Amino acid sequence: MGDFMSKSITRTALGAAALAVALGGIASPAFAQRDPAYASARASGQVGEKMDGYLGIVGAETPELRRVVNDINIKRRAVYAERAQANNATLEEYALTAGCQAILATTPGEKYQAPDGTWQTRTSAAPMRDSRCP
Task: Report pLDDT digits (tens) over 75-119.
Answer: 999 999 999 999 999 999 999 999 999 999 999 999 999 999 999
Distance CA 41, CA 58 (A): 10
Distance CA 20, CA 98 (A): 9
Name residue 100's amino acid: C
pLDDT at position 15, please? 52
Segment 47-74 shows an average pLDDT of 96
Say whether 68 sits in a helix, a strand or coil: helix
Say what the pTM is: 0.76
Confidence of residue 134 (pLDDT cuts 50, 70, 90): confident
Asked whether the beta carbons of 90 and 84 are under 8 A apart, the reply is yes
Percent above pLDDT 90 for the chain: 71
Asked whether the beta carbons of 57 and 76 are under 8 A apart, the reply is no
